Structure 1
Amino acid sequence: MRTLGTLVAGVSLVATTLLGAVPAAAGPADQAGPPDHAGPPRSLGEIAVVPIDDRPFPASTPISIAEAGGHTALAPPVGMLGEFFDYGDADGVGEWWQAAASEADGSVVAVSMLAYGGLMASRVCDTDLETARARLEVLEDVKAADPDHPVYAFDVIQRLTIAPTSSYPGMYSGEVRRWAELMDRVENLGHEDLRGEYEEVAASIPQEIKDDYLCARARNHEINKDMIRAAAAGTVDYLVLGQDDASEFGPHRAEKEALAALISELGVADRVKIYPGADTLGALLVAKHVVERLDVSPTVDVEWSRTPGEDWVAPYQDVPYAELVDAYVGTLGAERSDAPDADVLLMANTSGAGSLEPFVDRIHEAVARGRLVAVGDDAVAGMVDPELRDLLTPRIDVAELGAWSGWNVGISLSQSVVRAALTEASRTQPLLAGSPSTRGEPVLEARRQLLENAAAAHQELLFQELVHTDLYRHQVRDEVRRLAVDAGDDPQHFTVAFDEANELAVEQTRPLAQALFAEEFQGVPVRLGSDGRTEHSAVITDLGSLELGLSWPRYQELDVAPEIVLDRATQPASLVSAALLPWHREIRPEVSLDLAMSAVLRNDTGHEVDVRLSTTVPDGWTPAEPQVLTLAPFEVREVPVPVTTAVLAPEETQTVELVVEQERADGGAAVAPARASSTITAVWRNVALASAGASVAASGWWNQYAPERVIDGNTASTASRWITDAAGAHWLEVTLAGTEPVDTVQLYQYGNYELNDYTISALVDGDWQVVADVVGNTETAPVHQFDAVETTALRLDVTASRDSRVRLYEIEATCRTSTLCD
């Protein structure tokens, strides 16, 4: 089943009347107005899109991005794009684009499809350089026919290896990758100590595979240089050369340097960019068209999760993440801003040590306050980070987000920036023109319908992204792979079991997707924007249809084509969304405290709403006084909710509930109260935390599992451990921010690999004092209590463990019983 065919079937090439605010869209027909019977147009313009192949992110995502921005994307018939090793019809696609461009308002074209027949075809040398160049003459033809037609193009710098399959030649993909890395290190960088391995790996690969690989690389490099020259000549208005699956070493490194030198030589750095990415480039450039046509420049604020973007490189990329995000933002025509009212808040999830709780707290609070929040989730390559999902989804409805991509941050940025641009444009300029006899209510209704359709496309893209990169990839994909293996088939290239694999993928994913819609989308109110007079909203009411199917005859990708229905006439189940902040708070045990909590109330309707706030608290606590207030249409208001606790025992958790009774100020159907809650847990203050000013040193560590991870507050993530090489003894020292009273140390260890013999010492007045001496430990999380000491540092000395290594999640130091603890 090919869901992309459904997405693009029946697309018309008839030009559409555009918003009057875009000069390029105006013409004599617009000035005179369409015939009286024509009515207002249904789209703000058409963008001709030539994707790099037919998979969901290269092909269907750019279509959704255009629709989310109030535009229409024109795409070639799906049969022209090929499928996996059946390459696309490059000549046919070129002819299609030439015709489409003559009717469209702008174009986004994948050079690899026009030159070779797609991304997979670009990795083999079936097409010679002369043929590729001849096919690309269509760029000059389109520009000559209409010099004002903006053409945004993208190509890739070839990846390191060939497609991995169990059959020839893919069975050599691992060797080809290693050979390519060594080639760069030995031949370009002079690492002669690796020459022996380089020659050995080269000898293991058939010569015809090496010849074809080098031929394709050389040809592609020449085409990339041609495209830079085309940008310099004005044939291409904007060009992105994406690095496909990069690493530190390989032929791509030298190629990129040469291309950058040519860009500098020709003075086109303002309109030719090189950065990591392949599948996301079409979406970025479609979004660029939309933002420019809407004549706005959204601002983007960026926050990181565990590792700052300047210090982290995402999987399969070769530049710092912050540099990549800045490049994407610049391509979109947006601007970076640290302002608290930036149009888009990008919450970029990086990997590394540390807790995700503070990151998720910030997402929750920003969504509660009505900000457009995009989640860029690249911590786990090609998938939603399950830790992030498990922490975030209990706090918000996913449909409230501006984007959430587990594939590439470029998708999140494209989607959210387009969403911000359209809603801003709706408030500052008339979105649709109309003849004198169709102005007034028909035009206003057309604007509302356009905004509703755009919001539906936005929700569909958000939904299909999560179905693919979370539900399918986490819960179904491995079973599809096992089915192929059990059938004696290659999961990377089905030749026997495709029908059975496709059926399994669909049957197992569909109920998961339906449950996701019911829990995270259905009933959620959505801001649409303005019709020029009034702000509007709608409610997500139904999942009209859902088409699923494997994209290619392999187990990796799933096509997801949903139809999400919005209704402007439906009243949401709750007029006001409520959040009680903070979501969770830790307090000291055995004391009563005044908590400065706050309620964030967001009116999700275009009506005034009267609300009454009250709090429900545990026995012995003092609740906040009830409050009565009126919220203006779409108003967001933060209200103090002071609560006083009773004494809590250590590790005891209690809940405060906020109840928001509500009704429309002008009457209307009754609605159920909105509710929100916050949990309060009594825990001892851990002074051995980096966030509390502690630092750490150790005898050594293995790979990335550095000692800093034992003071980051994460006691559960396997990515956040101190792990050592095997040795007879190991030590760890934690230096506190200052002198602290400590009477308890707890160790959180990796199960079944406990530390057996060890001592814990405290630095007291400059001398190490043993506070715990342990022999034969078998506990995973032992707690060691001792007479309180005032110390500036703690030391763990390990002399025996199960396998002579240390695997430690966290060391926690607290003061619980002494009067010194007060």
Structure 2
Amino acid sequence: MNDTFKIAVIPLDNRPVSFTLPQQIISLNKNISVFTPPREFLGGLVSYSQVDKILEWIDDILKQEKVDYIIASLDTIAYGGLIPSRRLNTSPEEITKNLNIFRNIVENHNTNAKIYGFSSIMRISDSYVNEEEKEYWDKFGKEIFKYSYLKHKLDVLNHDTQEKEDFDGLKNKIPPEILDDYLKTRERNFSINRFYIKWIEENFLDFLVYSKDDTGQFGINVQEAEALDAEIQDKKLFDKAVTLTGADEIPSDLVSKALVDNYGQTIKIFPVFSTENGKNVISRYEDKTIFESVSGQIKLCGGEIADSEENADMVLLVHTPENIQNDHCLKIYPESENKEAVKICIDFIKNTQKPVIIGDISCANGGDNLLVMQILDNETIITKIYGYAGWNTTGNTLGSVISTGISRLIAEKTGNFEINNFKKSLLIRLVDDWAYQTIVRQKIRAITDIADRKTLKEELVPLVLNLTKKIEYNLKLSDFDLDFPWNRTFEVEIII
């Protein structure tokens, strides 16, 4: 075990969940140094990462520092980020050129750093929103999604005559040149993902994650994941590669994996679910049950599922829906407020003798207002909370809160815990996941269609002040700011 060690991170893009969240998780340990490229090198919604400058940056870092772990978004190196991986028509030859430059840089420095890479399996959005997709998505997005869904379903089941007719009809609705362009982009990205398996076989990559972003039970993306899984199994690489539902949380997961690897001891986590059927629910934007997501995220973070609360280092309290997950962003609420599930959560935290991390996933795209309010009203239980998350998807929430909890546990066990940094990170999650995503975002959208920082700040400040008192974090309002990094209201950056 290294008492002090260094991690270099190449993020997916410039969003706070990609750029700052992994750094916040690392900052709970005062013995770890983290290096990231200048943020302006990274891409956004309408700009692409400056790959040449990022490659120069990693070359310089490896010249100057003895780095122990490199956590790299391969999408950033290959395409310039997540969004361009879906949009650009770059040839496979151009893509592998940048990838090989990255490999040559790392190998030329004879570094002993472990390299954890992650790459996305291209998503298929069920919408007409082309903000993150090809230009034609605003006209044919839902048709392409349905084409993908039915193609996979018919390949597997192949017995529904009506669905076969629907599938044939879709091929006539989507112009051939558009369908051809879409499928060629998918084929290219899939070939690049297969290329990474060679890197594992050649011992360049120590670990690789394929992430399924915004997925469902059927789709070409699911078929690609199954094919990658099969190749991983056939080549007996299952200890070095995995496919996982999620995306934005993966760098945080890999930070946790690096901490556990360096620490040399497995962290045992016992999951508890707030509703009887909750662990069997398939969340929105995912293709696995909540229990499967919990298991996959714990394992990726370097943890192990404990066989009992007594034998656990920490409890993962998963606040689940009973049958169908609500969605704050889409304003879809098939399930009413579950006071009994909230009571189960509060009573559990009060009674357990173990540290608790809370994965608040009864609703997608924000936390449960009743749960958070009752936590804040029970100040004696706040000290037991080693992490909270309730943002976007189930995978996003679970990965970020598990990695936060593991980081804190390791920091405490090694005598390197930075409590003020923990309180800051907890405050940011509560402000973002609860105050903003659950409460304020809907208010803002009712007032204006634009990302208005002034209005947002006016709405958030009272909530922020209340939160700082509850978690005993000393914050001057002059040190609090916020931004819309992609100039839209979907995500916000809380700056403290």
**CA 1:399–1:80: 2 relative to 1, 3 Å:** farther
Contact 1:239 1:271 in 2 (8 A): yes
Question: How far did 1:234 drift?
Answer: 0.7
CA offsets 1:390-425 (integer angstroms, 9 cap, x no match): 343322354641011102111110000111111112
CA offsets 1:28-82 (integer angstroms, 9 cap, x no match): xxxxxxxxxxxxxxxx332111111111212211111111133222111111112
Q: Does 1:93 align with 2:54?
A: yes
1:62 aligns with 22
The equivalences for 1:382-393 within 5 A come to 382-393=365-376
Name the CA distance, whole Å, in 2 between partners of 1:399 and 1:507: 29
Q: Does 1:404 align with 2:338?
A: no
Contact 2:62 2:109 in 1 (8 A): no
Name the structure where strand makes up a greater proportion of residues.
Answer: 1
Q: Does 1:282 align with 2:233?
A: no
Question: How far did 1:541 drift?
Answer: 3.6
CA offsets 1:248-276 (integer angstroms, 9 cap, x no match): 11101211121011101221101101111
2:39 aligns with 78
Name the CA distance, whole Å, in 1 between partners of 2:23 and 2:188: 30
Name the CA distance, whole Å, in 2 between partners of 1:163 and 1:153: 30
Contact 2:115 2:207 in 1 (8 A): yes
Contact 1:283 1:414 in 2 (8 A): yes
Name the CA distance, whole Å, in 1 between partners of 2:110 and 2:408: 29
Q: Does 1:342 align with 2:312?
A: yes
Name the CA distance, whole Å, in 2 between partners of 1:508 and 1:170: 34
Name the CA distance, whole Å, in 1 between partners of 2:455 and 2:129: 21
> Rg: which structure is higher?
1
Name the CA distance, whole Å, in 1 between partners of 2:421 and 2:319: 24
TM-score normalized by the length of structure 2 = 0.87
From 412, 425, 428, the equivalent of 1:464 is 428
Structure 2 counterpart of 1:116, one-letter code: Y
The equivalences for 1:400-799 within 5 A come to 400-407=384-391, 408-426=397-415, 451=417, 454-485=418-449, 497-498=450-451, 501-518=452-469, 520-522=470-472, 540-543=473-476, 545-562=479-496
Name the CA distance, whole Å, in 2 between partners of 1:265 and 1:327: 20
Structure 1 counterpart of 2:48, one-letter code: Y
Q: Does 1:184 align with 2:152?
A: yes
Name the CA distance, whole Å, in 1 between partners of 2:111 and 2:161: 52
Q: Does 1:395 align with 2:378?
A: yes
Contact 1:125 1:215 in 2 (8 A): no
Unaligned runs of 5+ in 1: 1-20, 26-43, 427-449, 486-496, 523-539, 563-822
Q: Secondary structure at the match of 1:177?
A: helix
Q: Secondary structure at the match of 1:136?
A: helix
Give me the identity figure in percent.
24
Name the structure where helix makes up a greater proportion of residues.
Answer: 2
Q: CA RMSD in A?
A: 2.3
1:157 aligns with 121
1:174 aligns with 142
1:30 aligns with none
Name the CA distance, whole Å, in 1 between partners of 2:51 and 2:390: 30
Contact 2:279 2:320 in 1 (8 A): no
Aligned length: 463
1:445 aligns with none
1:359 aligns with 345
Per mean C-alpha deviation after superposition, the further-off stretch among 394-403 and 222-231 is 394-403
Structure 1 counterpart of 2:370, one-letter code: E
**CA 1:288–1:505: 2 relative to 1, 3 Å:** same
**CA 1:359–1:294: 2 relative to 1, 3 Å:** same
1:126 aligns with 89
CA offsets 1:667-707 (integer angstroms, 9 cap, x no match): xxxxxxxxxxxxxxxxxxxxxxxxxxxxxxxxxxxxxxxxx
Contact 1:383 1:473 in 2 (8 A): yes
Name the CA distance, whole Å, in 2 between partners of 1:208 and 1:469: 41
Q: Secondary structure at the match of 2:80?
A: coil
CA offsets 1:82-125 (integer angstroms, 9 cap, x no match): 22021212232223223324422211011111110111111123
Name the CA distance, whole Å, in 1 between partners of 2:319 and 2:98: 41
Q: Secondary structure at the match of 2:8?
A: strand
**CA 1:312–1:321: 2 relative to 1, 3 Å:** same
Structure 1 counterpart of 2:121, one-letter code: I
Name the CA distance, whole Å, in 2 between partners of 1:560 and 1:511: 14
CA offsets 1:224-258 (integer angstroms, 9 cap, x no match): 11112211211100111111111111101211121
1:269 aligns with 238
Q: Secondary structure at the match of 1:68?
A: coil
Question: How far did 1:483 drift?
Answer: 4.3
Name the CA distance, whole Å, in 2 between partners of 1:372 and 1:130: 49
Question: How far did 1:549 drift?
Answer: 0.9
